[in-house]
Amino acid sequence: MHDPHSERMSGSETRAASGLSLVFAFRMLGMFMVLPVLATYGMDLAGATPALIGLAIGAYGLTQALLQIPFGVISDRIGRRPVIYVGLIIFAAGSLLAANADSIWGVIAGRVLQGAGAISAAVMALLSDLTREQHRTKAMAMIGMSIGLSFAVAMVVGPLLTRAFGLSGLFIATAAMALVGIALVAWWVPRSAGPLAHRESGVAKEALGRTLRHPDLLRLNVGIFVLHAVLMSSFVALPLALVERGGLAKEQHWWVYLTALLVGFFAMIPFIIYAEKKRQMKRVLAGAVAVLLGCEVFFWLTDGTLHELVLGTIVFFTAFNLLEASLPSLISKVSPAGGKGTAMGVYSTSQFLGAALGGILGGWLFQHGGLNTVFLGCAALCGLWLIIAVTMREPPYVTSLRLPLSPAAVRDAGLVERLLAVAGVTDAVVVADEAAIYIKLDSEKLDRPALDALLEARADT
């Protein structure tokens, strides 16, 4: 038995976090690996047009957006594992359908089916079931890192796999990774006692209306929508620009993405530290959006030598990585107490819808106006986002806390008011169904002795 208050993750918690992070990573790797290669290799497929290539790039986002919240709700009722197994089998089936396709429509159908294996919410909920309160943020961060790493690996491995085995080989590798994911869940991830009722790990119907009406959450949802729309649109055009303008053979694109992602990853770290330590997240966010806008304008205005395109790609990925890392942190800060799970569900849906629209829009713009029209369209989206970003308020620099309540404390009508009167406590909500209270607090302004005294009194009731 492990100590429930231990500062270190137990062995079973480490296995849960590492196993589910790998499940996420393998699945996202399969989603992302086609990005750098579909625009160049996909034109060899029967019936391929730029518009249909764009649809194939973004198609997974449509079914992912539609099904990820329903899959999460179903997992509350029938269990996490059955939903995850079914989702990974659907994903593998979509990969095999795309691998055996000889036309662009077969690849589109495969990508739609891939997206239908929408297990994100169920995986996050299972992670919450298997980790204690004090380690949940750390475990969630491991999954976040695995997604970022899978994107970086996909940008490099996608072109290398496709060069060696063609598009069909790429999709077969994706199916194999889904099957490895099933094995990890079956034999590595520990069993849970059952689904936990936990508002921070899933969508709560009661919190949905408030989340959809929250002005700053709406701004952040628009932000992730635009970020992934711009990413998908850019990958309709950027691989072709490297071939047509930079004279770089499609088999050599991997080193451009490897360089851009490595430099971009290390270049963003000082900005993340500055944003958190100096409490300047709004400034850093708006600055990164402005840089993204500048990159799209640069791609639009210049015919670009290879060196210019590589430099532009490096700056693009620095801004992209910074925004991709900052937005979930902002969602966590801005969401109401007890509403982070719901806010993240809406945020993820916005992300997948952006990916779907971005691929479709990028392909359509390229077919009707060429490379420059795609970059101009992306610049327009970034410009819209910049206007929205500069009008947001500086986010509260708060952390979240969830504490169990005794039956008497749940019935204490004045508990929330007394907590809100403590300096540094910004929000609190009692959830009777969970016999718990969710608190948001600013650690720099917090009157810790007053909070501790109040919580000790609560524990004694």
Q: What is the pTM of this model?
A: 0.88
203's tokens: 């969508």
CA 194 to chain centre: 26
Other Cβ atoms closer than 10 A to 177: 23
Token pair 């600055």 is found at: 287
Say how far apart CA 12 and CA 130 lie, in whole Å.
8
Query: Which amino acid, 159?
Result: P
pLDDT number for residue 2: 47
| Whole-number Å distance between alpha carbons of 306 and 409 | 66
Terminal-residue alpha carbon distance, the chain: 28
pLDDT of residue 195: 62
Q: What are the beta bridge partners of residue 400?
A: 440
Q: Give every residue of the chain whose pLDDT is below 70, as ranges.
A: 1-7, 133-134, 193-202, 204, 206-207, 457-461
**Complete domains list, the chain, with CATH:** 11-191 (1.20.1250.20), 208-397 (1.20.1250.20), 399-460 (3.30.70.100)
pLDDT at 1: 40
**What are the tens digits of pLDDT across the range 126-175?**
888 888 766 777 787 788 778 878 888 898 899 999 999 999 999 999 99
Phi-psi region of 394 (alpha: psi -120 to 50; beta: other; left: phi over 0): beta
Residue 246's region, left for phi above 0, alpha for psi from -120 to 50, else beta, is: alpha
Query: What are the DSSP calls for 271-318, one per residue?
Result: HHHHHHHTT-HHHHHHHHHHHHHHHHHHHHH----HHHHHHHHHHHHH
- Quote helix, strand, coil % in the chain, to nearest 5: 75, 5, 20
Question: Are 220 and 334 contacting, i.e. CB atoms less than 8 angstroms apart?
Answer: yes
Angstrom distance (rounded) from CA 309 to CA 317: 12
